[in-house]
Amino acid sequence: MLALAFALPDMSARLQRFSIPIRVRVPFPMSIPSIPIPLEKKVRAATCLCVLAIACATLSTALWLPLSLVPVLGLVAIPNLLVCMIVLLYATPSLAYLLLAQDHPPAHVRGLFLPLNPVRNLGILLALAHYLLFLTHWLPRWGLSVARLLLERLALRLGEPGGVRPSPVTGDGGGTGETGGTVGTGDVAERSGLFDGFAKFGIPYANDHGREMLLDVYLPKTKGKRRRSNPTSHSPHRSTRPHAPDNDPSNIPPSTPASSPGPSSSPGPRPRPQTAASTPSSSGIEMSPSTRARRRSARGKPVIVFLYDLGILGPIKPKRTWFVLLGAKLAEMGYVVVIPDITLYPEGSAETMVRDARCVLRWVGENISYVAAASRRVPAQSSRCALARTTPRSFSVPAQPTTAADATRVHGGDPSSIFLSGHGLGAHLALFTLSQEAVVRSRDERELARSQIRHSGRRWREKAMAGHDEVFGWPAMPPPTPTPTPYGGGSGEISGTGISGGVGEGVPNGLRSLRVYGVEVAIPPVAGVILFSPVSDIIKQIRHESSLWLEHLSPVRRALGPSQTMCMRNSLGHLLFAAKNVLQPDKLPRRVLVIHGAQDRLVPLDSAHWLSELLYGLDVQTSFRPYRNLGHFELITELMKGLEGSTRRGWNMIGPACLATGTSMSSIALRGLRLRGGEEILSTEALEFLAVLHRTFNSRRLELLENRKKVQAELDKGKPLTFLPETADIRSSPGWQCAPPGPGLEDRRVEITGPTDRKMVINALNSGAKTFMADFEDSNSPTWSNMVLGQVNLRDAIRRQIDFEISGKAYKLSPNPAVLLVRPRGWHLDEPRVIIDGQPMSGSLFDFGLYFFHNAAELIKRGFGPYFYLPKMEHHLEARLWNDAFSLSTSKLGLPQGCIRATVLIETLPAAFQMEEILYELKEHSAGLNCGRWDYIFSFIKKQRAHKNCVFPDRSDVTMTVPFMDAYVRLLIQTCHKRKVAAMGGMSAQIPIKNDQAANDRAMAKVKADKLREVTAGHDGTWVAHPALIKIAMDVFNEHMKGPNQYFVRREDVVVTDKQIADPKVPGKITEQGVRDNVSAALSYCAAWISGNGCVPINHLMEDAATAEIARVQLWQWVKYGSKTDSGKTITAAYLQPIFSEESSKVSNLPGIDSEHVKIASEYMIGQVKAQWPSDFLTSDLMGHLEGVGTAGTARKAAL
């Protein structure tokens, strides 16, 4: 408390350099001169007083605490305890401020800068307690590990012949040359020490600040006996071959436990690096393992340069020797590890730190290994070095060592495979060092070239950039408007980028004065960057520290500023975002791995996530891996644990392979825009659950999709589809039944379907139908907003919290809404905006997983359950996969097994032959089968595409009464009632026709006739697409189905053969109007689907993707086999071309249709009718054109 006296206002403060004149006031009239007390002395005195106060308060607390429990003495002890706590509340934070916050205090502070706010002091105490708790937990383990390492090294030394081993240099085959002891620059090659063959300590790499800057090198283990040989015996062809080694951190597959040290394979469509098993030689001949090993050995080992956190630990500055366990762990895994000292604050500024990092990289490029060629010049950092205001530098790679002194510089590393890594502010420094030069070079080349910049694969969109001001915290800079090129004619805009090519166009003013710190220091190319808990945005980091009351104790602002302008100039995120229209992607490192702990209190998780999204938007192969149970320091200490176990144990502890066992958080990257309410849906726990589903089932899903291709190939060769002989016992056995209907599913006589739009969800639940199928599949366009906000709408509807208002009209949920079922996407569709381990997630598992995770427990609590419709299955093994996913999910969330019910849509031709097998696989979860009539027609044509006799007439002639449709319906009803589950009828797509009563009456009559056919055939329920049809269907079923279902209608008279199911005879003809209807329907739906609408009214019918699919394959079929119209015209691509043009013009004029999307749809359809075979699904083909997805079908990243 006495320290606070130095901060009182009556001390009359006038800060002059480091002296403050103090006027001592006395109560009697006497003049006393001012006594100048240096600020440094005041800090020392106040520090001593604070330490004394803390010690006294601590001892007093220990004394009075037991006395406070005594009834009489407690009256005296409790007030003393309160006084001690108040002293600690002020003295402890004051001590921290005295040690850390006296330089660059706020402008209004005169004298000592101390905290007086009790809330701030309490926050500082909590932070200090957390820090001390970590130290008490980690320091003993660190000390034991270091001691164990020393004992292991000592045992190895004593176990060798003579107790000492001479220092070998690189032998034949390029093995690691290892010399021990503390290595300087000269004659230490003959020395041997405890760490011989393990590490080299204290190597100087720079002398730019009046003192030597040192680094340590940790050498990888070599297997087998080391051989000494002439160091000049290398083959030059071996050492100079530009090929990444197999243990390159970027080549480790994500599924392996050791995937964390380097960047994983890139998300999206970028090709993964070839592994050792598939790497061809330069001649195209597959190399043998021994050949690959020799070449890998000749090249040397990958190099990891690690920059530790630069002072975020507090008053104790980190040293490189603290990370001996980390270096040893990485070296044990086969890497050459370099850990340097960096000039820290207050001795160094941001410019000094960048210069040190460049010096380290220069030393690594020149000294990490020798190559077996003459000294050569290697371009620094980038292959394009046309700098206008800076001179491009190159570094030299020396020739082979020939003397003992030179041999001390051999470390067995590969200078072409350098990975720069960092932690915290060290991670910021690592990428900032490389990005600064990349931005300056790109800017200068742009201004010098005076022409268009050629970008490839850029993913930025104007809509995404316009919204970044709220996400990033600074104003967005939209791309400039197109301007004429300096050469005249045309526009300087690059297609798809919005970047103009005039002189200086698109270069923000803040970048014009940007310079490279330490540009005279040349650096080698960097293969990749590994970032642990990176600080990406300095301004947001300072704000985050302010929320923790630590902004004055952290060195971030003072080291990188202290002014806000300097903080922004030295901020990695600000630099990259400001340069996004200028930066050439090839000048950045091509691979970046971002690793962060979800429990990090010092650097928020959003910082790393946002950085990974920004880098991906700049076309950098980026992988983001968050880990649930790790904090800021634990992220590094967990890596150090590896020495206590096997070689890869440390990586297993945080590697993605451990997720399925629940020991680690998932590695998952989201590439969709941030959406209001989406944060709760895409929570950390939900993403972890999705990753469990993906890693458990995705490989099986891909195998089943490959099996579909094999079946199609057999069908194309003429093999017919039949009932499976291997499952005949399942079909003939009367001893098994499916589970009883779930609560609310006993009566399903009328079901309404539709997408998950908020208004539609409310209207459908209030429609009066028994159930509502919320559709994420055919009646939904899978834009990111539709998929995520659809989950939000369903969650709110289940909790009765959904409402909607538009044009003054409010929509609210009724007291007794319909029972909710959800249809996820089919197994064939991916979710390209969610990447797990470098692979896009299954759209099926994404939709199911999010809905089940957020709503299953709530539905059970309300007396229902999670109910689903499962689409597009083609084999009973696909049903088994769903069943396994259901079982795992309920077990993972601790819910009762069997709470899920799923109705399978029989809408593919192969599934019609396996109805009972599908029910059998899902019998614990089955709720019946549904006649997906429209997709079934599409599948029939597609599967029989190689047979000319399967050409169908106009789509309107393929009704439910044609032979193959009638056989399929009768078999479905018989199968379902045999196994005591619901046999659901198909969709009536009619919608009310306004302003034409006669046409409306005819349409409603068709609906009534269709529902009458279904109920008399034995169906237990039916589908409608519009609320106006519910009463018609309900009246028909109420009249003819008195109970909740018709399970008693066994249809034992039905005998359906495989030939009947595959019978292609359909009466009718092909008309020109039918051709035009198909063209119009396909164009209308595809254009609307690309625009984000998957449920489209076309010709008074509510159509979904199945309509466009039938139209597409019919047009292809007619062109393929030269079908003729009823007027005798042969249908060819040339015949269809003018029809496409005419119908495109008509469709473009429809409300809600974008003409550009019509053009895309037209080009796609023309390509389809000309193809040898139609593609499987148009939704897969057009996915790349959706909002938020790249044109190649890969995710377009935006900041999240």
Q: What is the pLDDT of residues 729-741, one digit of tens each?
A: 999 998 899 999 9
Q: 350-364, 907-921, 1184-1198 — which is least confidently predicted?
A: 1184-1198
Given pLDDT bands bounded at 50, 70 and 90, which one contains residue 406? very low
Given pLDDT bands bounded at 50, 70 and 90, which one contains residue 179? very low
For residue 693, give every residue at least 6 positions away whose Cβ sits within 8 Å of its Cβ, in sequence order, or none.
842, 845, 848, 849, 885, 888, 889
Q: Compute the distance between CA of residue 866 and CA of residue 858 in angstroms, rounded to an integer.
A: 9
- So what's the pLDDT on residue 209? 58
- If asked whether residues 421 and 566 sit together in one domain, one would say yes
Residue range 1121-1132: mean pLDDT, rounded: 93
Higher pLDDT, 1155 or 609: 1155
Given pLDDT bands bounded at 50, 70 and 90, which one contains residue 196? low
Phi then psi dihedrals of residue 591, to 5 deg: -135, 135
Residue range 1053-1074: mean pLDDT, rounded: 92
Q: 212-221, 454-463, 1174-1183 — which is least confidently predicted?
A: 454-463
- If asked whether residues 607 and 742 sit together in one domain, one would say no
**Residue 34: CB atoms within 10 Å:** 12
Question: Residue 4 pLDDT more than 50?
Answer: no
- If asked whether residues 1042 and 1180 sit together in one domain, one would say no
- CA distances in angstroms from 611 to 482, 870, 1200, listed in the order given: 29, 37, 9
- If asked whether residues 1057 and 1077 sit together in one domain, one would say no
What CATH number is associated with residue 382? 3.40.50.1820
Higher pLDDT, 357 or 164: 357
- CA distances in angstroms from 385 to 539, 591, 817, listed in the order given: 31, 20, 67
Given pLDDT bands bounded at 50, 70 and 90, which one contains residue 504? very low
Q: What is the pLDDT of residues 1067-1083, one digit of tens each?
A: 999 999 999 999 999 99
Residue 84, domain member (yes or no): yes
Query: 952-983: string of b/e by CB count within 10 Å (b at 16+)?
Result: bbbbeebebebbbbbbbbbbbbbbbbbbbbbb
What CATH number is associated with residue 1106? 1.20.1220.12
Structure token pair of residue 534: 């990176």
Q: What is the helix (H) or strand (E) element at residue 811, kind and residue range?
A: strand 809-812
- If asked whether residues 783 and 856 sit together in one domain, one would say yes
Q: Which amino acid, residue 120?
A: R
- So what's the pLDDT on residue 153? 62
Q: 41-55, 376-390, 824-838 — which is least confidently predicted?
A: 376-390
Domain of residue 1000, residue span? 679-1061
- So what's the pLDDT on residue 491? 27
Domain boundary among 1027, 1042, 1061: 1061
- Strand pairing of 867-870 and 901-906? parallel
| Catalytic-labelled residue, pool 441, 823, 825, 933 | 823
Domain boundary among 1029, 1061, 1093: 1061
- If asked whether residues 1115 and 1044 sit together in one domain, one would say no
Q: Compute the distance between CA of residue 163 and CA of residue 155 in angstroms, rounded to an integer.
A: 10
DSSP state of 217: E
Residue 108, domain member (yes or no): yes
Residue 57, domain member (yes or no): yes
Question: Mean pLDDT in the chain?
Answer: 74
Given pLDDT bands bounded at 50, 70 and 90, which one contains residue 316? low
112's torsion region: left (phi>0), alpha (psi -120 to 50) or beta?
beta
Q: Compute the distance between CA of residue 1181 and CA of residue 1019 in angstroms, rounded to an integer.
A: 35
Given pLDDT bands bounded at 50, 70 and 90, which one contains residue 162? very low
- So what's the pLDDT on residue 1007? 93
How remote is the C-alpha of 822 from its chain's centroid? 25
Q: Compute the distance between CA of residue 408 and CA of residue 202 in angstroms, rounded to an integer.
A: 13
Q: 344-348, 405-409, 713-717 — which is least confidently predicted?
A: 405-409
Residue range 893-902: mean pLDDT, rounded: 92
Domain boundary among 1014, 1033, 1061: 1061
User: SS3 of 894, please?
Assistant: coil
Residue range 1079-1095: mean pLDDT, rounded: 90
- If asked whether residues 399 and 306 sit together in one domain, one would say yes
Residue 1102, domain member (yes or no): yes
What CATH number is associated with residue 984? 3.20.20.360
Given pLDDT bands bounded at 50, 70 and 90, which one contains residue 141? low
Residue 194, domain member (yes or no): no
Residue 497, domain member (yes or no): no
Question: Residue 278 pLDDT more than 90?
Answer: no
What angle separates helix 784-798 from helix 843-861, to the nearest 10 degrees?
Answer: 10
Residue range 98-119: mean pLDDT, rounded: 73
Residue range 825-847: mean pLDDT, rounded: 93
DSSP state of 606: H
- So what's the pLDDT on residue 609? 76
- So what's the pLDDT on residue 155? 65
Residue 470, domain member (yes or no): no
Q: Compute the distance between CA of residue 1083 and CA of residue 1165 in angstroms, rounded to an integer.
A: 8
Residue range 302-322: mean pLDDT, rounded: 76
- If asked whether residues 640 and 708 sit together in one domain, one would say no
- If asked whether residues 1040 and 1160 sit together in one domain, one would say no
- So what's the pLDDT on residue 677? 77
Question: Residue 723 pLDDT more than 60?
Answer: yes
**Residue 703: CB atoms within 10 Å:** 11
Residue range 841-865: mean pLDDT, rounded: 96
- If asked whether residues 1047 and 1147 sit together in one domain, one would say no
- If asked whether residues 1106 and 989 sit together in one domain, one would say no
Highest mean pLDDT among 181-185, 445-449, 992-996: 992-996
- If asked whether residues 967 and 1032 sit together in one domain, one would say yes
- So what's the pLDDT on residue 714? 94
Given pLDDT bands bounded at 50, 70 and 90, which one contains residue 108? low
- So what's the pLDDT on residue 624? 77
Q: What is the pLDDT of residues 540-565, one digit of tens each?
A: 777 777 777 777 777 777 777 777 77
Question: Residue 672 pLDDT more than 80?
Answer: no
User: Is 441 among the catalytic positions?
Assistant: no
| Number of domains within the chain | 4
Q: Compute the distance between CA of residue 399 and CA of residue 1036 in angstroms, rounded to an integer.
A: 91
Residue range 1036-1044: mean pLDDT, rounded: 94
User: SS3 of 1171, please?
Assistant: coil
| Catalytic-labelled residue, pool 674, 748, 1104, 1196 | 1104
pTM: 0.52
Q: Compute the distance between CA of residue 179 and CA of residue 226 in angstroms, rounded to an integer.
A: 13
Instruction: Work out the burial of residue 54: count CB atoms within 10 Å of its CB; fewer than 13 is exposed, 13-18 middle, 19 or more buried.
Output: middle
Q: Compute the distance between CA of residue 1147 and CA of residue 425 in angstroms, rounded to an integer.
A: 56
Q: Compute the distance between CA of residue 950 and CA of residue 304 in angstroms, rounded to an integer.
A: 62
User: Is 847 among the catalytic positions?
Assistant: no
CB 1100 within 8 A of CB 999: yes
Residue range 436-457: mean pLDDT, rounded: 66
- So what's the pLDDT on residue 112? 78
Residue 149, domain member (yes or no): no
Question: Residue 1164 pLDDT more than 60?
Answer: yes
Given pLDDT bands bounded at 50, 70 and 90, which one contains residue 451? very low
Q: What is the pLDDT of residues 934-983, one digit of tens each?
A: 999 999 999 999 999 999 999 989 999 999 999 999 999 999 999 999 99
Higher pLDDT, 641 or 1151: 1151
**Residue 151: CB atoms within 10 Å:** 10
- CA distances in angstroms from 990 to 779, 1030, 1095, 1105, 1109, listed in the order given: 15, 12, 13, 16, 18
For the chain, what is the radius of gyration of the CA atoms?
36
Percentage of residues of the chain with pLDDT beyond 70: 71
- So what's the pLDDT on residue 81? 81
- So what's the pLDDT on residue 41? 67
